[in-house]
């Protein structure tokens, strides 16, 4: 495993070898059923100063429903890393990767997995790859980590609004995105330059394709679903506040009535009523956890950023295409 380091010296950039990206894309293409099924795997590499270098990866094994995935996965990972160490290949565990469907990845499962990774391997990151957006000509590969505040908050397992305010947790402070740098060897760079020179002239404007309407439509539909989820969760929280207010009123009325009765008994020379636990009469209502709603809000923020990115790219392409048409007509 990668070495432990202090919080002040965190990973600030992720450097990925081109071979790792190709392996990740190949795994998603072969086993991801066109992007609809999620694929996951292990990232290997090492830490140099504040740079995390990812030099190799391998997928998680397939398993039957009767088999325990955790047991099979751990045994497979240990065997793979042992074999890589024997052939003198980087075998240090530095994180994991996962494909996503139209950028839908912020959920409890990812949060649990990344917390476990980051708790045992401080430098670990999760790579999120979107194969459907990549097919539109945009390589979508991002690296994320949990923020230190989120690590402390999630470790306490207390998802009440008060604890979220204490740790200053919101949808924008759960994950932090780490910049990614792709690295290729000199031979690969020379090959890419040679292929670029051989590219036909009529293919130079293929990047101006505006075939992003389906992506925008899907993102907006998913955004609407997230808005519905937030609205439902908000109604639940409002119902809790309403019921809690009624309970507090009933509790105050009970205490006032009891105090008046004790005053009357005292005037008559009778002993006061015995003490009783008010919480037994009025059981505190369970506070609905706010973590799931916060995750949905984070997913909504991700969708909004994707829509803005697609819209800005489409506008730029339209202006460029208009200039080219004007140049051809003149």
Round to whole Å and give the CA distance between 96 and 112. 13
Q: Which two tokens stand for residue 105?
A: 């990845």
Which strands make up the sheet holding 51-59, listed edge to edge?
175-178, 141-146, 125-129, 92-99, 40-48, 51-59, 13-17, 180-183
Q: Give the residue ranges of the chain where pLDDT is below 50.
A: 1-8
pLDDT at residue 5 in the model: 46
Round to whole Å and give the CA distance between 93 and 42. 7
Give tens-digit pLDDT for 112-148: 989 988 988 888 999 999 888 787 767 889 999 999 9
Exposed (0-12), middle (13-18) or buried (19+): which is 185, by Cβ within 10 Å?
exposed
pLDDT at residue 250 in the model: 87
Round to whole Å and give the CA distance between 161 and 173. 15
pLDDT at residue 202 in the model: 52
Give tens-digit pLDDT for 207-259: 666 656 677 788 888 889 888 988 898 898 899 889 989 988 888 888 888 88
pLDDT at residue 128 in the model: 92
pLDDT at residue 70 in the model: 64
Q: Which two tokens stand for residue 160?
A: 């009440």
pTM above 0.85, yes or no: no
Please name which of 133, 219, 129 lies closest in space to residue 182, comparing C-alpha atoms: 129
């Amino acid at each position: 495993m990668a070495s432990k380091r202090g919080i002040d010296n965190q990973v600030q950039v992720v450097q990925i070898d081109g071979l790792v990206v190709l392996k990740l894309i190949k795994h998603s293409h072969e086993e991801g059923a066109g992007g609809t099924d999620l694929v996951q795997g292990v990232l290997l590499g090492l830490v140099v100063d504040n740079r995390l270098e990812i030099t190799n990866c391998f997928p998680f094994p397939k398993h039957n429903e009767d088999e325990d995935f955790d047991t099979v996965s751990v045994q497979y990972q240990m065997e793979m890393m042992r074999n890589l160490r024997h052939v003198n290949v980087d075998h240090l565990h530095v994180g994991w990767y996962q494909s996503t469907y139209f950028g839908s990845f912020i959920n409890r499962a990812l949060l649990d997995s990344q917390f476990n990774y980051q708790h045992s391997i401080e430098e670990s990151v999760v790579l999120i790859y979107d194969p459907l957006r990549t097919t539109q000509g945009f390589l979508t590969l991002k690296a994320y980590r949990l923020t230190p505040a989120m690590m402390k908050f999630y470790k306490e397992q207390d998802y009440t609004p008060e604890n979220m305010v204490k740790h200053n947790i919101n949808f924008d402070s759960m994950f932090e995105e780490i910049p990614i740098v792709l690295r290729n060897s000199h031979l690969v760079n020379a090959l890419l330059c040679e292929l670029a020179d051989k590219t036909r002239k009529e293919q130079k404007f293929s990047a101006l394709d505006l075939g992003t309407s389906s992506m925008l439509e899907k993102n907006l539909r998913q955004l609407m679903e997230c808005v519905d989820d937030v609205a439902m969760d908000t109604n639940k929280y409002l119902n809790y506040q309403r019921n809690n207010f009624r309970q507090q009123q009933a509790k105050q009325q009970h205490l006032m009535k009891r105090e008046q009765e004790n005053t009357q008994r005292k005037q008559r020379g009778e002993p006061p009523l015995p003490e009783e636990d008010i919480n037994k009469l009025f059981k505190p209502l369970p506070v609905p956890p706010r973590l799931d709603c916060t995750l949905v809000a984070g997913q909504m923020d991700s969708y909004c950023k994707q829509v803005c990115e697609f819209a800005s790219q489409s506008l730029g392409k339209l202006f460029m295409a208009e200039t080219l048409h004007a140049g051809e007509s003149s």
